[in-house]
Amino acid sequence: MQRTAGAVFTADHAGAKPARQGLRRARRAASLALAAVLAGAILAAQPAWGLDPSRRLVQCLHRIWQLQQGLPQATIYAIRQTSDGYLWLGTPNGVARFDGVRFTVLRELGGISLEKIRVLALVEDAQQNLWLGTDGAGLICLAGADFRRPVKQLRQAEGLPADSIHALFADRRGDLWIGTTHGVARLHAGEVTVLHDGESLPPGTIRALGEAADGSIWIGGDGHRLGRWDGTRCVPHVLETLPAETTVRALLPAEGSGMWVGTSDGLVRTEGEREQRFAGNDGLADDYVYCLAAGSNDSLWIGTKAGFSRLHGGEFDSFLPQDGLSQSTVYALCEDREGSLWVGTKHGLNQFADRRTIPFTVREGLPSNDVGPLLQDTAGNIWVGTLGAGLAQYDGKTFQVLTTRDGLASNRIAALARGAANELWVGTDQGLNLLRAGAVAATYTTDQGLPASSVRAILRNSRGELWVGTSRGLARLDGDRFVVPGGDEGPARQPIHALAEHQGSLLIATTAGGGLYRYADDRFTALLGDAIAARDIDALYVDAEGLVWIGTQTAGLILVDDQRVTTFSPADGLYDDAIYGIAADEQGRLWMACSKGIFSVARADLLSFAAGRRSRLEYLPFTPTDGQRTIECRGDVQPAVWRMQDGRLWFATIHGLIVLDPHHLRIPLPPAPVVIEELIVNGTSRSPTDRAPMPRGANNISFRYAALSFRSPARLSFQYRLEGFDQDWVDAGTRREAIYTNLPPGRYRFRVLARNLEDRPSEAPAPVEFTLRPHFYQARWFLPLCLGAVGGAAWFGYRWRVRWIKSRLQAIATERSRIARELHDTLMQGFSGVTMEMQALLTRLPPSPNRDALQEIIGDAGNCLREARRSIAGLRSAPGQETGLAAALAQTARQLTDAAGLRLKLAVPHSPSRLPASVEYDLLRIAQEALVNAVKHAQASSIEVQLEYEPRAVR
């Protein structure tokens, strides 16, 4: 990392010779103020969240994306943030879009394959079209930056000077300027105009285009000659401070009507006939400048062949490959709307953003990362002790170091304490030093009465007494010598860890006995007893109300309040059990340095817990994702944390210093723009703006969305809602996709909300609206139709069943009638004849037992015939059919007349009551005989059968 003052070189058109350049180098210091003014070349509309110029670039939060992190191509030629918030990258194989988490590679645009096309330039016009300048494929336009829409391509056949484009620029009038390998062209209202003023234009390839404040267009390329188009003609402008073989790679408007010019031989500022040149020996990262970008806070960003630089306030601050840049050659620079700086190199994409904390290490000037105690003296100077590299003084910009060569007793410093005005006490492992006005004024060792030369704690109390704790006990400075209180025994002779003043008395933390003692009126009083192990105390802090807070190495935090001792441990919600330092801020929070990093707890919560009104603590941790480079603070030094006069807290860690401002724990950011990137239907991508109805059978629908915030994209939270299906918002956390399956047909509206670290919500401005068309079986008429069809089928089935049953019953009845007739005509007639013959035999027999037996047989035979007649009558009447004489008579009449082909007239009403079967049988046989005789012998053409019922007769 480099940070030096910038030098200024001037020249007029008469020429600048080496001798004159040497003279200008001699006036470098006098030109710093002028360079500060020149660095104000900032575009009119810049974000208000740029990198803090008071911080070094190496103190920024630096992220790198390479192939391992998902970057599609290692080399980045161009970076552009479009108005919708996306970051677009020009690469050797096309263009990629970045939303902070995902890279989307555009492999094809409207039938144009980008797989083998180098994209060298990117620009967005006033209509929000993104233009791609390619190497060999001409100019490609993405309409509205939506790669799903058809694209427009301009090539040499459409009027361009060449198909290889190295520079693109959109001016304030809406015209697009195109720099090619064979000249420059302007695209106005869809028409291409080529500038042919050859003597005024740079020769060869046009590599840089820019617009000055007065509206003139500047053109640069091969050679040190620039072209300035004033609207009617091109006027040449020769860079006199540069050799003729110089290549102009970048142009950026400066204050007034001048321009910043990035060249292969340094950075030049032009203003009329004057020129100022900056080179590597002025603090620029390298003489070869590839790109320029305007930054917020009056900063100018310069990308070079060996890193990049920021020019602010007349000073260069550079970030080099050895500082962690992905690669040395910087092709592209872009500052986004949140103030992050994006740097594209040959081997990766770099992001730089302000941390919530400020780190200090050897890269920022510390003599060693192995730091010890720190404090701010009464004059406002910040002092940092190291464990082997001496004592550093920070004046707000740089560190000045004192070592043993300057009189320190040792370079290993374990304790610091304020002295009188302009004094500082420094405790080392080889003695005690007094600094006055930044220089060593006195040294104290065992020769001056110290119990040991290894000093561990120092305290100058409100009465001006100086107390020193060493590895062998406690001592007080009395004149020029130290005296030990309490004689040769007791706490005064034990190793001391920490000292503090409390209500006029002295608190002493030792490694033996009770651990913590109060010294007052020449007496030592143990305060903790056996509450904790004596060796555990590492920090003492007395707050404004006189409460004593104790940090221990293994037992957490301890509160001593009027002899009441309360211990806070991780089991109670404390972040860590090893507390190395304690300080309070103005918001009522206690900040603690611990083995896991830095955390804070509200003092009121601690007191509520001690009083039994609270069962668990809540802490606010600062983890590595919050900007720390290490998670472990430094123990066994006094003090390990200090609140400065400006309210910021400084912490000593095992890898340098960490500074945080409790007033600005969160960096205010604008709400993140939310976009719905893609709609996927059954695995097929679809534009979210497509309002056409969904295809039938769209069972799987998913939405991919993003919030275009690049500061902490992984910590954004999302909510979504599908109106028409979801009753309320769905918390998605950090998930960037919503999936729905088996949605019912209907109209839907998908909405997305995002919340940033400030909990500021933002919603996608264009919800996705779509209609899910039903299948025929999902139509409203389908269910009634099915119900009607089922009902009709059931009715027809019922009717068929009834007819089938009737036909079966009719067949059964017919068969029964046939059987009845056959029985009547055969078996019963035979039995009747036998019975009649036995009757005749009976009349001829004389009275005798045989005659009586025959009489009984004839009776039994009669009974059997009657039973047979009843059975035959039952056969003639099928179950469930019409029964009785009327039905049998009608059936018999139909059978006889149908066989003879006679007309039949029936008048046979139903029987009002069932007659005995024998009577019905006899009547039916009588009617049957009558009908047979009428059919056979009457020679009739029609027969009428009439049946009448009377109360006591049947006619």
Q: How confident is the model over 270-291, as pLDDT tens digits?
A: 998 899 999 999 999 999 999 9
Residue 37 in this model has a pLDDT that exceeds 60:
no
- 875 or 603, greater pLDDT: 603
Strand order across the beta sheet in which 505-510 lies = 496-502, 505-510, 516-520, 523-526
At position 539, the amino acid (one-letter code) is A
Q: What mean pLDDT comes out for the span 745-764?
A: 86
* Other C-beta atoms lying within 10 Å of the C-beta of residue 714: 8
> How far, rounded to the nearest angstrom, does the alpha carbon of residue 469 sit from its chain's CA centroid?
52
The pLDDT, as a whole number, for residue 950 is 83
The string of DSSP codes covering 401-442 is EE-GGGT-S-SBEEEEEE-STTEEEEEETTEEEEEETTEEEE
Tell me the pLDDT band of 24, cut-offs 50, 70 and 90.
very low
Q: What mean pLDDT comes out for the span 774-802?
A: 84
The pLDDT, as a whole number, for residue 149 is 66
The pLDDT, as a whole number, for residue 825 is 67
Q: What mean pLDDT comes out for the span 717-723?
A: 94
Q: What mean pLDDT comes out for the span 749-772?
A: 86
Residue 295 in this model has a pLDDT that exceeds 70:
yes
The pLDDT, as a whole number, for residue 617 is 92
Cα–Cα distance, 598 to 632 (Å, whole number): 8
The pLDDT, as a whole number, for residue 571 is 93
What the block records as the tokens of 831 is: 């039995």
Q: How confident is the model over 26-36, as pLDDT tens digits?
A: 333 333 333 33
Tell me the pLDDT band of 46, cut-offs 50, 70 and 90.
very low
> What Cα–Cα distance (Å) separates residue 850 from each residue in 744, 835, 855?
97, 16, 8
Residue 932 in this model has a pLDDT that exceeds 70:
yes
Q: Which residues of 44-79 are buried (b: 16+ CB within 10 A; e: fewer)?
A: eebbebbbbbebbbbbbbbebbeeeeebbbbbbbbb
Cα–Cα distance, 207 to 203 (Å, whole number): 11
Judge whether 475 and 468 are in contact, CB under 8 Å.
yes
Q: What mean pLDDT comes out for the span 828-850?
A: 78
Tell me the pLDDT band of 623, cut-offs 50, 70 and 90.
low
90 φ/ψ angles, rounded to the nearest 5 degrees: -90, 125
Helix H or strand E segment including 526: strand 523-526
Cα–Cα distance, 933 to 589 (Å, whole number): 129
* Other C-beta atoms lying within 10 Å of the C-beta of residue 194: 14
Residue 773 in this model has a pLDDT that exceeds 90:
no
Residue 388 in this model has a pLDDT that exceeds 50:
yes
DSSP-derived letter for residue 472 is: T
Q: How confident is the model over 542-600, as pLDDT tens digits?
A: 999 999 999 998 889 999 887 688 999 999 999 999 999 999 999 999 999 999 889 99
The pLDDT, as a whole number, for residue 421 is 87
Judge whether 576 and 552 are in contact, CB under 8 Å.
no
Nearest of 174, 178, 226, 167 to residue 201 by alpha carbon = 226
If you search the block for the tokens 């479009």, which residue do you land on? 82
Residue 926 in this model has a pLDDT that exceeds 90:
no
Angle at 100 between CA 82 and CA 252, to 5 degrees: 40
The pLDDT, as a whole number, for residue 916 is 74
Task: Find the length of the chain.
Answer: 955
CA dihedral 106, 107, 112, 113 (to 10 degrees): 150
108 φ/ψ angles, rounded to the nearest 5 degrees: -150, 140
Q: How confident is the model over 450-508, as pLDDT tens digits?
A: 999 999 999 999 999 999 999 999 999 999 999 998 766 677 888 999 999 998 899 99
Q: What is the mean pLDDT of the chain?
A: 85
Cα–Cα distance, 123 to 132 (Å, whole number): 7
The pLDDT, as a whole number, for residue 178 is 96
Q: What mean pLDDT comes out for the span 711-730?
A: 90
Q: How confident is the model over 100-115, as pLDDT tens digits?
A: 999 988 887 777 888 8
E strand residue ranges, 43-195: 61-65, 78-81, 87-91, 94-98, 103-106, 108-109, 112-113, 119-124, 130-134, 139-142, 151-154, 165-170, 176-180, 183-188, 191-194
The string of DSSP codes covering 193-250 is EE---TTTSPSS-EEEEEE-TTSPEEEEEBSSEEEEE-SS-EEEEE-TTS-TT-BEEE
Q: Which residues of 797-812 are buried (b: 16+ CB within 10 A; e: fewer)?
A: eeeeeeeeeeeeeeee
The pLDDT, as a whole number, for residue 13 is 33
> How far, rounded to the nearest angstrom, does the alpha carbon of residue 265 sit from its chain's CA centroid?
44
Least confident of 33-37, 421-425, 852-856, 916-920: 33-37
What the block records as the tokens of 202 is: 């740079």
Nearest of 633, 629, 5 to residue 324 by alpha carbon = 629
777 φ/ψ angles, rounded to the nearest 5 degrees: -80, -5
DSSP-derived letter for residue 611 is: T
E strand residue ranges, 728-773: 730-733, 737-741, 746-755, 761-763, 768-772
Contacts of 935 (CB under 8 A, 6+ apart): 896, 897, 900, 902, 943
Q: Is the dihedral of CA 710, 346, 182, 264 positive or negative?
A: positive
Cα–Cα distance, 328 to 425 (Å, whole number): 45
Q: What mean pLDDT comes out for the span 785-799?
A: 90
Cα–Cα distance, 159 to 167 (Å, whole number): 17
The pLDDT, as a whole number, for residue 28 is 39
Q: How confident is the model over 174-196, as pLDDT tens digits?
A: 999 999 999 999 999 889 999 88
Cα–Cα distance, 485 to 95 (Å, whole number): 77
Nearest of 485, 498, 534, 483 to residue 416 by alpha carbon = 498
Helix H or strand E segment including 509: strand 505-510
Q: Is the dihedral of CA 547, 551, 552, 557 positive or negative?
A: positive
DSSP-derived letter for residue 676 is: E
Q: Is the pTM of this model over 0.85?
A: no
The pLDDT, as a whole number, for residue 272 is 85
The pLDDT, as a whole number, for residue 715 is 80
Tell me the pLDDT band of 621, cut-offs 50, 70 and 90.
confident
Judge whether 890 and 896 are in contact, CB under 8 Å.
no
Strand order across the beta sheet in which 61-65 lies = 61-65, 348-353, 341-345, 330-335
231: left (phi over 0), alpha (psi -120 to 50) or beta: left
Cα–Cα distance, 98 to 108 (Å, whole number): 17
Q: What mean pLDDT comes out for the span 692-707?
A: 85
